[in-house]
Amino acid sequence: MDARDPELTKELNATLHARRELGEEYESALVDSFLEKVDQRIDGVVDRRVRRQLAEQQMVSARGARSPKSTDSFGERFGFGIVSMVLAIPLSAIGGGIAHLPGLLVAWAGIVGVNAFQAAKSNPEIFRGRRHRQTQDSDWEG
């Protein structure tokens, strides 16, 4: 028997001792009683582990933690913003020069769209509405 659970070791020893004293006619009842105690012990351990894991998941969700991605570093986001702004200058000149104000608006709509897509990809929570966050907050309270 593994010595990690001294209570179960005591229970097993007591069961074996009772079996010696009472005889074979009580063996089935003694074994069933011991197995029920083992089942209760296993259920307790599993319950504690499940509760701990659920609590950890709730903490991760509450903090809004995301799994780290190689494309999610500050430097890469900053670089994407700089490149976007650098490309915005010639795109604005071309769009404004060819189609005047409508061309300029289309160029900037594209720039904003690409940046919004990148932001949503790297941080999906950013575009969820206030109502969604309030719903999540009220879920944690109850």
Rounded mean pLDDT for each run of 10 residues along the chain, 142 residues in total: 74 90 88 88 89 88 63 75 87 88 91 87 74 53 47
**Tokens linked to 41:** 């012990």
Long-range CB contacts (within 8 A, 24+) of 122-126: 122/69, 122/71, 122/72, 122/77, 123/66, 123/72, 125/64
pLDDT in tens, 87-97: 888 888 888 88
pLDDT of residue 142: 45
pLDDT of residue 1: 45
pTM check: above 0.75: no
